[in-house]
Amino acid sequence: MKIAVEITIFGHVFSEVVDYPGTPKSHAEVIQWLIRQTDFKWVNYEEASTEDKMVYHLEPDIKH
């Protein structure tokens, strides 16, 4: 079954129509499935190496 997914992360909206395996029985089931499909990466911004800053497109002069 195809489902439409919209995810907002820090104000950035991602929309996609995806193939869901089967028919979801609840909102929670879809959320669990989405989490399993998602690859999360993070880095300590203040301690990031030059390589990580390139991978994550972090600008060294940005102040947070």
Task: Report the number of distinct structural domains present in the chain.
Answer: 1
Beta carbons of 52 and 58 less than 8 angstroms apart: yes
Supply the pLDDT for residue 31: 94
CA distance 48 to 46: 6
What domain range includes position 28? 23-64
pTM: 0.61
In a domain, 50, yes or no: yes
Residue 12, domain member (yes or no): no
pLDDT digits (tens, 9 = 90+) for 9-62: 889 899 999 999 999 999 999 999 999 998 887 888 788 888 877 777 756 565
- In a domain, residue 61? The reply is yes
Contact 5, 15 (CB under 8 A): yes
